Amino acid sequence: MREMDKAFDFKTAQTRWYARWEAAGVFTADRESAKTPFSMSLPPPNITGNLHMGHALAYTLPDVVARLKRAQSFDVCWVPGVDHAGIATQVIVERQLKEEGTDRHKLGREKFLERIWAWKAQNQDDIENQLRRLGASVDWTRKRFTMDPDLNRAVRKVFVEAYRQGRIYRGPRMIQWDPASQTALSDLEVKHVERHGHLWHLNYPLADGSGHITVATTRPETMLGDTAVAVHPEDERYTHLVGKLVKLPLTDREIPIVADAFVDRDFGTGCVKLTPAHDPNDHAAGLRLGLPSLTVIGFDAKMTREAGAAYAGLDRFECRKKVVADLEAAGLLAKTQSHTSMVACSDRTGAVLEPLVSEQWFMKVDEAAKAALEAVRDGRIKFTPEHHVAVWEHWLTNIQDWCISRQLVWGHRIPAWTCASCGALHVELEAPPACPGCSSDDLVQDPDTLDTWFSSALWPFSILGWPDETADLKRYYPNDVMCTSYDIIFFWVARMAMSGLTWMKEIPFRQVYFNSLVRDEGGQKMSKSKGNVIDPLEVMDEFGTDALRFTLISMSAPGTDIALSRTRLEGSRNFCNKLWNAARFVQMNLTDDVTLALDPEFGEAEHWMKGRIAETLKAVTEALEHFRFHEAADLLYHLVWDDFCATYIELAKVNLTSGTPAQKAAILHFLDFILRALHPLVPFVTEEIHEAVVADRLKPGEPRMLAQRAWPLGDPLLSRPGGDATLIPRFQEVLSAFLRLKAENGVDPAKRVPAVCSVRELAPFAEAFKAIARLESLEFPSGDLASPTRAVAVVAGGTAALDLAGLKDPAAEKAKLEKEKEKLEKELAGLRGRLDNPRYLEKAPAEEVEKAQALAAEKAARLEQVRALLG
RNA sequence: GGGCGUAUAACUCAGCGGUAGAGUGCUACCUUCACACGGUAGAAGUCCCAGGUUCGAAUCCUGGUACGCCCACCA
């Protein structure tokens, strides 16, 4: 048996074990198994980067669940994978090309794609290895990439079916255009950012020369594309002008003044310029009123020829300056106000978006949204924490059609072909050899790709082999649990629900657990620009993976964000080390004949420890099954530190060093229970200890690796009858009293003094008292212990005292007793107040009253002792 | 403009109807034969404010206040 080091060396442990688990197939699901299946899908990380702290949390929590379920004898299928991350990936590779002095247009579509695939291969390996370092117990034999050929087949299948059903359509519509990445975006990819700008008041002269009308705008450059000015139909200030024409400044056009109820009379001047080509509101109004649309800004965010010779080719923001200057020069700038507004920006590139009309593909989602709403309302899908339901309801009831086409190269290519000769559009699973209409073979595939989330939406079933009816699909769909971050509830969770219900006719998962967001020590969101990012890879190097996991788990109270701090990480590392050293101490004292096959011998301490483990295991199981990870971590922390290390091992030291094999077997069993209970949370340190201490002492037939051992809840040993559960807490109180008396009287803790105690039931613990509190002797006499040389403390059921002779500090003792008396009197007064209230006695549950009475009796007894000692 | 969340010890957070808790930090002491990534003892809280429900409220309700987040086309 290997000797254990003085401190837990996590670096070697965490590289050794994952490879062994994986090689032994511990994480491989078995579709032939007779066990009950339990399935999850890993939210696929983007191939664009390293694991960040959000991933660490989002993958640790389901790993706890997976390891628990595996131990509870479920056939766990947790499928991992990575996401191609359309825009993000393309932006990164394009940036690399730029550094090399080239770009994707020079390279050409095919070469560019090759380049991205090569980059992807490297990154995928990296991120997969980072997942392994984290300990994520996923089934690598089933790993997927969102652009794998069979996932592409699923995407094409959905696209073609949806098109045939009329759920997918193509058409010119106003979309949000990102000039930086040169693609359309969906509404979800738009972030509204507060920007300080101006509100310019512009005078538009009336064509008949009878004055002017003043409009207010934040985007003066768009005035070059105005096709009307709108006022509210009931705005008396302007009704007389409706129908008149104004002369649009800086152009030679005349445009009408129209009335529409969408105008807010109280904003600006109450007159709004209408630019149907460049504003979603104006676009809608233009359609309502039959106004022409004039595109003055192009896809490159530069002004078009339509903007006029003076402005064509200018960047939109340059043009803004020029338009303002020109209007001012013409005396038409009435006022410039500073103004703060929410500007639509790309979530990905940060660029200011341009609303533009263009030909795009859209998906109708109203029906699917209803189904998804229904599934949550009727409880088929449950959310933890539940408050996310409100957000879900709001978004899905106001959902708009989804713009799914992207003008990107990296992604699933849209399976649509246009005939170059007859112009017919064909949406097919495979490229048609010739146009079914005119037989021309000159078919051109749509160059666009699909929104990344289109393939993500199919993830829970596409990874199991859909559209084929595979055995995996039958067994593992729907998933039991989906653990993910709430910031992608719309992007991903809602869309998975909608597509699952549409294509599988069945929910994709029964339970969604939304994990928290990880923030920095001060509660700030981590971001590169703030420089407060804590890198999980570095944390794993410095504190160990187990410490990182334990910290995240212990801070994962549902519904609150996590402020990750160094001190918490240190605390978790210390905890792992504490466990390690307790195990090391046990191991040092075990002889080869001590095994888990021995029938252990229980004394009072063992009965108590057994009870503590049994209670804790029950509570931990309950907590984990309800996603109260922090509660499980807290319970186990105290079980290990307070109960096992501080109390039990101290009491068992005699047995441990000189006991019989049967007595030592009890200790071994307890350590074994603790390792099994902690393994889902801190797999590396527990496996390492298991190897060093337990693996050679297992019962015949038990798996040698902890990762394969069973969850210990319900083990017969934990319900062995016997023992007085109150004895150990009373022992602890008396022990603590002895130690305190030494401290209070300024006695060196190492000085051995004679002691007495009136609680005679504790006599069997005399040796433990003497060893731990370092007493010279300990008697359990009957009668009054008080004496001038004794320092006395009141404990439950009696008194405990040290014979200090000249060392006693009477003043300190008196002060202490006075303080205790005050406290007891106050507590007793509170209890009496309650118990003397007839309405309390009448209305409170009997159980409560009894508890209060017992407590009052105990306090009264103590108070009496204290008073007696004070004389 | 809507919606959600959070306010508890110096810090970070649990608890959420029946004697105020943890970790870290702080003070004093301890090189006790598993662990100084340790041990012992201790100090430390009008549980944001104001009302209400209740025998009883940090916990439930109402209204404030302060932060944080999400959604939304007011030019």
pLDDT in tens, A151-196: 999 999 999 999 999 999 999 889 999 998 899 999 899 988 888 8
Is any atom of strand B within 7 angstroms of residue A824's beta carbon?
no
> Taking the mean position of all CA atoms in its chain, how far away is CA A631?
16
Nucleotide at minimal C1' distance from the A219 CA = B75
The crossing angle, in degrees rounded to 10, of helices A629-638 and A661-678 is 160
Is any atom of strand B within 7 angstroms of residue A191's beta carbon?
yes
pLDDT at A2: 62
Is any atom of strand B within 7 angstroms of residue A271's beta carbon?
yes
pLDDT in tens, A419-446: 988 888 999 999 999 888 888 888 999 9
Is any atom of strand B within 7 angstroms of residue A574's beta carbon?
yes
For residue A529, what pLDDT band results from cuts at 50, 70 and 90?
low
C-alpha to C-alpha distance for A526 and A517, rounded to whole angstroms: 10
B72 nearest neighbour residue (CA to C1'): A192
For residue A731, what pLDDT band results from cuts at 50, 70 and 90?
very high
First to last CA, chain A: 61
DSSP string of A229-282? Answer: EEE-TT-TTTGGGTT-EEEPTTSS-EEEEEE-TTS-TTSTTSEEEE-TTT-HHH
Nucleotide at minimal C1' distance from the A746 CA = B29
pLDDT at A525: 75
pLDDT in tens, A88-121: 899 889 999 999 989 998 989 999 999 999 999 9
C-alpha to C-alpha distance for A329 and A349, rounded to whole angstroms: 36
For chain A residues 232-251, those near strand B by a CB cutoff of 7 A are none
For residue A78, what pLDDT band results from cuts at 50, 70 and 90?
very high
B32 nearest neighbour residue (CA to C1'): A750
Q: Which nucleotides of B are covered by protein (CB under 7 A)?
A: 2-6, 11-15, 18-19, 22-25, 28-32, 34-42, 54-56, 69-75
Is any atom of strand B within 7 angstroms of residue A283's beta carbon?
no
C-alpha to C-alpha distance for A281 and A826, rounded to whole angstroms: 69
B34 nearest neighbour residue (CA to C1'): A585
With 90 as the cut, is the pLDDT of residue A686 above it?
A: yes
Nucleotide at minimal C1' distance from the A555 CA = B13
Give the residue among A327, A339, A325, A204 at the shortest CA–CA distance from A268. A339
Identity of the highest mean pLDDT range in A253-262, A463-472, A524-533 = A463-472
For CA atoms A677, A678, A681, A684, give the dihedral sign. negative
Token code pair at residue A845: 């549950």
Q: Of A254-263, A545-554, A614-623, where does mean pLDDT reach its minimum?
A: A254-263
With 70 as the cut, is the pLDDT of residue A1 above it?
A: no
Distance A176 CA to B72 C1' (A): 16
Distance A618 CA to B14 C1' (A): 19
Please answer whether residues A203 and A334 qualify as being in contact, where contact means their C-beta atoms are separated by less than 8 angstroms: yes
Distance A749 CA to B29 C1' (A): 8
pLDDT in tens, A260-284: 888 888 888 888 999 999 998 899 8
Classify each residue of A77-110 as buried b or exposed e, where b means 16 or more C-beta atoms within 10 Å of its C-beta.
bbbbbbbbbbbbbbbbbbeebeeeeeebeebeee
Length of chain A: 871
Does residue A25 or residue A807 have the better pLDDT? A25
Is any atom of strand B within 7 angstroms of residue A641's beta carbon?
yes
Nucleotide at minimal C1' distance from the A841 CA = B55
C-alpha to C-alpha distance for A144 and A124, rounded to whole angstroms: 11
